[in-house]
Amino acid sequence: MRDALCFFGQMAAKWRETGAIAPSGPHLAKIMARTVGPLAPNDVVVELGPGTGAFTKALVKHFPNNRVIAIEFNPVFVRNLRAAVPKATIIEGCASKMPQYMDELGIERENVGAVVSGLPLLMMPKDLCRDVFDAIAQTLVAGKPYVQFTYSERAWRRFEPPGFRPSPSRKVWLNFPPAVVLPFTRAS
């Protein structure tokens, strides 16, 4: 309940940044984590835009032996995430600076097993969206997954992230509102 109240307060104050009408549900979070696939023992998962932490919690639970790093722009969400998910590394900053954060943490590209995103990328300014995709492409080596969720699969049909191959999407009806999980693979 506390996460929902925090989410709705931030949505009202910062609608464009939040980009959702409700916090992601546990069923969607579980499917997002499963879509990542298997990780090597030293791999880390990077989450972009964790908000109230539904995906973060699912990633930590699904990958208990792997490091989860979440990059969040909103300082209120950051503070709450650090308290709610102490096993994750929470970075306050912009997703477009992901390669810099990985360097600062001493994480090699080869050890980034996946990037999971809850960012409202198609609502962002085009240059920021491009910068985020560049950051994802710079961070992931060929063959590694990038998993995005959206409420509008139709909007994503007109947009394919450069340097990524799409895989079949999955509709998640048990989320409010219903969402779509979009898996991509970093191309060589």
**Taking 90 as the threshold, does the pLDDT of residue 176 lie above it?**
no
Q: Provide mean pLDDT across the span 33-40.
A: 96
The answer to whether the bond into 177 is cis (omega within 30° of 0) is: yes
CA distance 76 to 6: 8
Distances (CA, A) of 132 to 17, 86, 110, 177: 14, 26, 19, 25
Domain limits, the chain:
2-186
Position 158 scores a pLDDT of 72
What percentage of the chain has pLDDT greater than the value 90?
A: 72
Look at residue 20 and tell me whether its pLDDT is greater than 60. Answer: no
Give CATH superfamily name and number for 2-186: Vaccinia Virus protein VP39 (3.40.50.150)
What local confidence, expressed as pLDDT, does residue 155 receive?
A: 76
Confidence category of residue 177, pLDDT binned at 50, 70, 90: confident
Residue 73: phi, psi to the nearest 5?
Answer: -85, -35
Global pTM? 0.86
Residue pLDDT, tens place only, 90-111: 999 999 999 999 999 999 999 9
CB 153 within 8 A of CB 163: no
